A and B are shown apart, each in its own frame.
Chain A
């Protein structure tokens, strides 16, 4: 088994090593943001599913009228931001838990965050375009 990074302590005594390995003193922000977006996602998802349900497969017929309402397009943008942010935080935790190679871990986290930011940008741009177009 390979040595963990804190076992390569060299000349430090075990107690000195243990003292240097306290809490990371970060992560609360991530945890809070995940819960905050989760709570925000509840009403927004109910609203979104209700809208999809109302439209059925005739979404294209109602998009122009529906998107023209600032309430609808505004809520859809809020839904997009909240959902994508929540996804970013969730995927990050999964990568951190299962990928143990430090380099690969960082690459994957950057890639997933970049990808989801791109997705959110395309979505919001499309919503704004639809709200003004047709």
Chain B
């Protein structure tokens, strides 16, 4: 290896992606939201397991568990997790469409993104409105 080559061989290349230099965009924000809702849904799985286990442990334990869910914190968690579920569901469908190679045009991707967000909000609202009435 010549001296010149050795000098120009980059040793410390920047690691991509440098998220902080990008302007926040609809598509990138929704992509991050997909991951965050996925993580929140893991908490949902913990509650799901607790729900089934408490039911199996008998009526008294189960009633205590339902009491816990009906506290303010429990309700906030349930509404948050249900939104995460609806969002992850619809955006997951968007991802599956992408896997077929469709919907990649910037306009389409953004439009579908708005649709997913609106759908998630409407279904979460509708679900809880109908459930509590």
Contacts and interface: CB of A to CB of B under 8 A. Distances in A.
A68 to B, nearest CB: 13
A59 B89 CA distance: 23
B41 interface: yes
Interface in A79-105: 83-84, 87, 90-91, 94
A28 to B, nearest CB: 13
* Interface residue tally on B, bucketed by range: 20 to 34
* Interface residue tally on A, bucketed by range: 35 or more
Interface string A1-28: 1010001000001100000000000000
Interface of A: 1, 3, 7, 13-14, 35, 38-39, 41-42, 45, 49, 53, 56-57, 59-60, 63, 83-84, 87, 90-91, 94, 116, 119-120, 122-123, 125-127, 129-130, 133
Across the A-B interface, the 9 shortest Cβ-Cβ residue pairs: A126-B56, A126-B52, A129-B56, A119-B49, A1-B12, A123-B49, A123-B52, A90-B38, A126-B53
